[in-house]
């Protein structure tokens, strides 16, 4: 099929393999500093994932695959490397998916060069999936719409182009989207720090809103779609994504705004029956008690910091994957596309 969508508005590649090391754009420092980390062993990839230097479900999986390559090149026991990388973060299934793919190649006798080809394939397939999802998702949006997004699902979070942000890039290029609103995404500010950085850099009309402004924005009526990514989609379509996604889906339904999840098939976990079975990462309370490293809450205060939530399938109008669009997802509709 010939595409009528040009891949403009797409200049960022944050995960780069350089033959003997992995370069990662340090997402903890953006937008103040554009600093690259060089990972030369599996342990440094593990820490980059755990400490959010690289984040976003597909990017975590891709980085982990390169971590396995580095382990193979250094002679590190591969079982140990696979287990260590797997423990870096619990919710994004792309991590487990990529490591299982590398494990299968190892079991088939792959050497370091073959593992390098597999990691590159994982990275290249992700970019192709994002571009295809961009076209499929943009086609659902009426020309001249405003949309809202949450967290960062762009080039920084993937091999490039992005999932939800890929749909937004494609929608802007096709004249379907004329305004993007990005929630700031407390506490880590992925929306404010990362999504706004991508959108401004790529010339996409965007306005930042406080997370708590979302319902008021939807009530105003310009926003036609909330478009988000996913960290794990269960077999019934329940979707784990960045904390705050669930309340956006509730607000969207209340205001008649459509809700779209965009994720590659590597985010779909048909072995997990429903969202109740998805492990939600709890991070350090300190992330909530400070802003930009400066304590803002009284000493002695406690905080609860779950960093993902689950949006039930019945609040989702469309799940867009590179294999096709699943409207009003149910287990049956998911199985029709993702049967084992
Ligand atoms: O904690 P993060 O920044 O890794 O969380 C990222 C998200 O929740 C994204 O929405 C999701 O991974 C999809 S990225 C294409």
Token representation of residue 297: 């809450």
pLDDT in tens, the chain (340 residues): 334 444 555 778 999 999 999 999 999 999 999 999 999 999 999 999 999 999 999 999 999 999 999 999 999 999 999 999 999 999 999 999 999 999 999 999 999 999 999 999 999 999 999 999 999 999 999 999 999 999 999 999 999 999 999 999 999 999 999 999 999 999 999 999 999 999 999 899 999 999 999 999 999 999 999 999 999 999 999 999 999 999 999 999 999 999 999 999 999 999 999 999 999 999 999 999 998 889 999 999 999 999 999 999 999 999 999 999 999 999 999 999 998 6
Tell me the pTM: 0.96
Angle at 193 between CA 23 and CA 19, to 5 degrees: 10
Give the neighbor-by-neighbor strand order of the sheet with 15-17: 15-17, 22-25, 36-39
Q: What is the pLDDT of residue 7?
A: 53
State how far the Cα of 262 lies from the Cα of 285, in Å rounded to an integer: 29
Q: Looking at the domain that runs over 15-128, which CATH code has it been given?
A: 1.20.120.420
Q: Where in the chain is the domain with CATH 3.40.50.10470?
A: 131-338
Does any ligand 1 atom lie closer than 6 A to the CB of residue 94? Answer: no
State how far the Cα of 123 lies from the Cα of 59, in Å rounded to an integer: 8
For residue 95, list its beta bridge partners: none
Q: How far is the centre of ligand 1, averaged over its atoms, from the C-alpha of 96 (Å)?
A: 15
State how far the Cα of 159 lies from the Cα of 119, in Å rounded to an integer: 11
State how far the Cα of 21 lies from the Cα of 24, in Å rounded to an integer: 10
Nearest alpha carbon to residue 39 among 65, 75, 77: 65
* Radius of gyration of the CA atoms of the chain, in A: 19
State how far the Cα of 92 lies from the Cα of 86, in Å rounded to an integer: 10
State how far the Cα of 235 lies from the Cα of 220, in Å rounded to an integer: 34
Q: What is the pLDDT of residue 46?
A: 98
**In sequence order, what E strands does 169-235 have?**
177-183, 206-209, 223-228, 232-234
* Catalytic hit among 10, 126, 202, 231: 231
DSSP category for residue 320: E
Q: What is the pLDDT of residue 2?
A: 37
Q: What is the pLDDT of residue 11?
A: 74
- Per the CB < 8 A criterion, the answer to whether 289 and 303 are in contact is yes
Q: Where in the chain is the domain with CATH 1.20.120.420?
A: 15-128
Does any ligand 1 atom lie closer than 6 A to the CB of residue 57? Answer: yes
State how far the Cα of 205 lies from the Cα of 207, in Å rounded to an integer: 7
Q: What is the pLDDT of residue 5?
A: 44
Is 231 a known active-site residue? Answer: yes
Does any ligand 1 atom lie closer than 6 A to the CB of residue 153? Answer: yes
State how far the Cα of 318 lies from the Cα of 340, in Å rounded to an integer: 21
Q: Calculate helix-pair angle for 93-107, 57-74, nearest 10 degrees.
A: 30
Atom from ligand 1 closest to the CA of residue 154: 15
Other Cβ atoms closer than 10 A to 334: 22
Token representation of residue 240: 């784990």
Element (H, E) at 310: strand 308-311
Q: How far is the centre of ligand 1, averaged over its atoms, from the C-alpha of 109 (Å)?
A: 33
Q: What is the pLDDT of residue 167?
A: 98
The yes/no answer on whether domain 131-338 falls in CATH 3.40.50.10310 is: no
Which residue has the least CA distance to atom 10 on ligand 1?
A: 229
């Amino acid at each position: 099929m010939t595409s009528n969508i040009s891949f403009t508005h797409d200049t960022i590649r944050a995960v780069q393999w350089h033959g003997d090391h992995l370069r990662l754009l340090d997402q903890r420092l953006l937008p103040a500093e554009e600093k690259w980390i060089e990972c030369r062993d599996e342990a440094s990839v593990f820490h980059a994932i755990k400490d959010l230097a690289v984040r976003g479900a597909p990017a975590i999986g891709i980085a982990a695959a390169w971590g396995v390559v580095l382990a193979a090149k250094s002679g590190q026991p591969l079982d140990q490397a696979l287990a260590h990388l797997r423990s870096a973060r619990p919710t994004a299934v792309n991590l487990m998916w990529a490591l299982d793919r590398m494990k299968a190649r190892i079991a088939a006798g792959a050497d370091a060069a073959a593992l390098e080809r597999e990691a590159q394939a994982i990275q290249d397939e992700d970019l192709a999936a994002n571009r295809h999802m961009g076209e499929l998702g943009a086609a659902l949006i009426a020309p001249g719409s405003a949309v809202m997004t949450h967290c960062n699902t762009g080039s920084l979070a993937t091999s490039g182009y992005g999932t939800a942000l890929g749909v937004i890039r494609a929608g802007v290029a096709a004249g379907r989207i004329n305004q993007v609103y990005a929630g700031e995404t407390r506490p880590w500010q992925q929306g404010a720090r990362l999504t706004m950085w991508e959108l401004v850099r790529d010339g996409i009309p965007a306005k930042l809103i406080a997370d708590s402004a979302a319902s008021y924005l939807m009530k105003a009526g310009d926003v036609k779609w909330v478009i988000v990514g996913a960290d794990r989609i269960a077999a019934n379509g329940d979707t784990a994504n960045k904390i705050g996604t669930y309340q956006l889906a509730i607000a969207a339904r209340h205001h008649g705004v459509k809700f779209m999840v965009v994720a590659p098939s590597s985010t779909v976990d048909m072995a997990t029956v429903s969202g109740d079975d998805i492990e939600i990462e709890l991070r350090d309370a300190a992330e909530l008690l400070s802003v930009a490293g400066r304590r803002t809450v009284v000493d002695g205060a406690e905080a609860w910091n779950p960093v993902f939530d689950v949006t039930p399938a019945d609040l989702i109008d469309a799940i867009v994957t590179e294999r096709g669009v699943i409207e009003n997802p149910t287990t049956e509709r998911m199985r029709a596309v993702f049967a084992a």
